[in-house]
Amino acid sequence: MREATQAASESSVHYAGWGVAAAAFVGVMTSFAPIVPYTFSLFLNPLHEAFGWKREAIGGTFALAAITVALVSPCIGVLLDRFAPRRIILPAILIFALALASLSRLGPNILQFYFTFFVLGLVANGTAQFAYTRTMLTWFRKHRGFVLALILTGSGVGSIIIPPLTQWTIEHQGWRNAYLLLGGIALLGFPLTALLMRNRPTVVANIDRVSDSGATVGAAMRSLAFWVLALITALSAFSENGLVTNMAAILIEH
């Protein structure tokens, strides 16, 4: 009966969960996922011209951020299970936005660039769908698949809108102002997240019965299917990130 009541309420346009989903959509649209990978290559040539840094050295900063994301994500997952997600997301957004804006003050010492991308990697998944989905799982059962897909769409929308704005700013206002712009964009998700991002007050206990039907960590690690999926995901990430973070500079050269 309780599950039927929740399913019916989810179908209403007045269901509070849809407001939370809208906040999550905007948050993901302005998170690490669409901003850093899809604008990184736009700065390769300007930074090379400004400081003479080799592209290989500049590209190493994104690799550092990606490795940091991979290493700290399990820790962020533990925090999301222990605390309300908004308590993790809001500080992460602030740090992410300030770090992006601080790149407008870059000097000739490339270590500053590396350190900033290390900080971006630390908070990356605290701003992205990784964090927002934790709250959405408490609000939706019947429409869970649709809502999770909707949140992921936010990243795609951001990757369409943000790079052209960044490129226009670089061409007309300079790369330093472009980093300020990105810092401002990163803050756009903060107000809605602060106002609306809450776990559902009356969460059904053991809503998915994960402890009854799911596999343990040890069993998953011994499963061939797990390692096949892990390998596919890793290869996909390597190929996609390597292409996206260099494509603009390559196309400009040709």
How far apart, in Å, are the Cα atoms of 29 and each of 10, 151, 154, 188? 23, 8, 4, 9
Q: Which two tokens stand for residue 28?
A: 């993901």
Give the whole-angstrom CA distance, residue 136 versus residue 20. Answer: 8
- Tens digit of pLDDT for each residue in 178-233? 999 999 999 999 999 998 888 887 654 444 444 445 677 778 778 888 888 888 87
- Of the candidate CATH numbers 1.20.1250.20, 3.30.1280.10, 3.40.50.740, 3.90.1150.110, the domain formed by 14-200 belongs to 1.20.1250.20
pTM score: 0.82
Query: From residue 132, how far is each of 26, 45, 159, 188, 198 by CA, in Å?
Result: 11, 34, 18, 15, 10
What's the pLDDT tens digit per position in 99-140?
999 999 999 999 999 999 999 999 998 998 888 988 888 888
Domain boundaries, the chain: 14-200
57: which 2 tokens?
């050295």
What digits encode the pLDDT tens for the residues 17-70? Answer: 888 999 999 999 999 989 999 999 899 889 999 999 988 889 889 889 988 998
* Assigned token pair, 41: 């290559």
- C-alpha to C-alpha distance for 87 and 80, rounded to whole angstroms: 9
State pLDDT tens for residues 154-187.
999 999 999 999 999 999 999 999 999 999 999 9
